[in-house]
Amino acid sequence: MADTLRPQAAPPAADLVRRAISGRRVDIGARLFEGILLFSLLIALAILVVLMADVIGRGWVVYAERGTEFLTSGNSRDPAQAGVGQALFGSLALMVIVAIVSFPLGIGAAIYLEEYARDSPLTRFITVNIRNLAGVPAIVYGLLGLAVFVVALGDLTGPNSNGRSIISGGLTLGIVVLPLVIITASEALRAVPDTIREAALGVGATRWETIRSHVLPYAAPGILTGTILSMARAFGEAAPLIMVGGAASFVAAGDANLIDQLFGPYMAMPTLVYNWAGLPNQEFRALTSAGIMALMTTILLVNGIAILLRNRYARRW
């Protein structure tokens, strides 16, 4: 063969380089590492799937058998008749009060901190304070609600039930989510470019005129998203409600008028789930799951609306 007659030259330099920098070096360690990381992510996601599957698996039979009647009936000792109607109403009423309490206070505080406050020890104290409040366990707010709204102001908030009313519950939950509203609203305000404020002030507008006409409209989608997400969070909170009386077990199926319902004993979705989960009767397992389905659907719906709104109103210009 012709090759063997020629002296073997050294492989050209280009070849050496090519070999050095190309080639699939199978680094098992790296692959393994990446695999482990992906695995942990997938486990977390798998748990969510398993959770959903279990809940739906246990609970769908209730809807299959009873349909929407489950959603409208009041509570009852008889599993065949017990429904989440009262609890849904209670939760809805709670959310209205939460909104009334936390939105004005929260957004107002955020506006003050972001638009008016100078950087001073007082301002920093308030900011730190709010961040700490955000980290306080919900049950501690329950104690606060108990001491203030139930015991101290009981006659005001719930004359029919020793102070354990929707008003007390709503006020307590409102305080639970207040730090969250403040923090998300603050972030939304901070995202407004300073050039807009400068431009408005430069033309002879006051602070408030600037905020009202330019800053707030710009930040509104972000603020809205934040407040809706806070509501979703409040909807699922049970611990504070237990402390201020929301776990009263069987409420008389009543056609009590609205005022009585607001100032009297009540049920809410998360505490109903808690009650049912603790009942020894196995049939309530399915009911609990069905209740959870209603609870989760509401929460996911609200979260979804918030995100949809945020995307839709993302800066158009």
Partner 1 sequence: MVDPLTVRTRTDDVAATGATEHESPTIRVMTTGHELDESEQIAPGASGPAPQMDFAADQVVFELDQLSCFYGSFRAVRDISLKVPKNQITALIGPSGCGKSTLLRSFNRMNDLIDSARIEGRILYHGVDLYENGVDAVEVRRRIGMVFQKPNPFPKSIYDNVAFGPRVAGFRGNMDELVEQSLRRAAIWDEVKDKLKTPGTALSGGQQQRLCIARAIAVEPDVILMDEPCSALDPIATLKIEELMRELKENYTIVIVTHNMQQAARASDVTAFLTMGEDRAGYLVEMAPTQELFTRPINRLTEDYITGRFG
Partner 2 sequence: MTDQPRLTHEDLRGSSARRRRELMVRSLFLSAAAVSVIISALIIVSLVGEAWNFISQVDPGNLRTDGWFPRRDMFDIGTIVAGTLVVAGVGLIVAIPLGLGAAIYLAEYASPRWRGTLKPILEMLAAVPSVVLGFFALVVISPTIAQPVCDAFTGASPIFSMGAAGLAVGILITPLVASIAEDAMYAVPNSLREAAYGLGARKRATSLRVVIPAAVSGIMAAIIVGASRAIGETMIVAMAAGGTGGSLFQLNPCQPGQTMTAAITALATGSDRVRGADLAYPSLFFVGILLFVFTLVLNMISERFVRRVRLRY
List contacts with partner 1 (CB under 8 A): 118-119, 195-206, 209, 213-214, 218, 315, 317
Query: At residue 266, what is the residue type?
Result: Y
Least gap, CB of 245 to partner 1 (angstroms): 47
Q: How far is the CB of 194 from partner 1 (least distance, A)?
A: 9
Asked if 193 and 185 count as a contact pair (C-beta separation under 8 A), the reply is no
Q: Answer whether 171's CB lies under 8 Å from 97's CB.
A: yes
Structure tokens at 129: 């304070």
DSSP 8-state symbol, 116: I
Choices 5-13, 87-95, 139-147, 215-223 (CB under 8 A): range interacting with partner 2:
139-147
Q: Dihedral sign for Cα 299, 304, 307, 312, please.
A: negative
- How far apart CA 207 and CA 42 sit, in angstroms, is 49
Q: What is the nearest approach in angstroms of partner 2 to the Cβ of residue 137?
A: 3
Q: Between 15 and 198, whose beta carbon lies closer to partner 1?
A: 198
In the complex, the smallest distance separating the C-beta of residue 220 from partner 1, rounded to whole angstroms, is 12
We find the least distance from the C-beta atom of residue 296 to partner 1, in angstroms, to be 38
Apex CA 290: angle with CA 287 and CA 296, to 5°? 140
Q: Which stretch binds partner 2 (CB under 8 A): 24-32, 65-73, 78-86, 254-262?
A: 24-32
The 3-state secondary structure of 6-57, one letter per residue: CCCCCCCHHHHHHHHHCCCCCCHHHHHHHHHHHHHHHHHHHHHHHHHHHHHH
Q: Which entry of partner 1, partner 2, none binds 202, CB below 5 to 8 A by partner kind?
A: partner 1
Residue 159 interacts with partner 2 (CB under 8 A): yes or no: no
The binder of 253, among partner 2, partner 1, none, by C-beta within 5 to 8 A per type, is none
Instruction: Restricting to residues 257-316, name those near partner 2 by CB under 8 A.
Output: 270, 273-274, 277-278, 285, 288-289, 292, 295-296, 299-300, 303
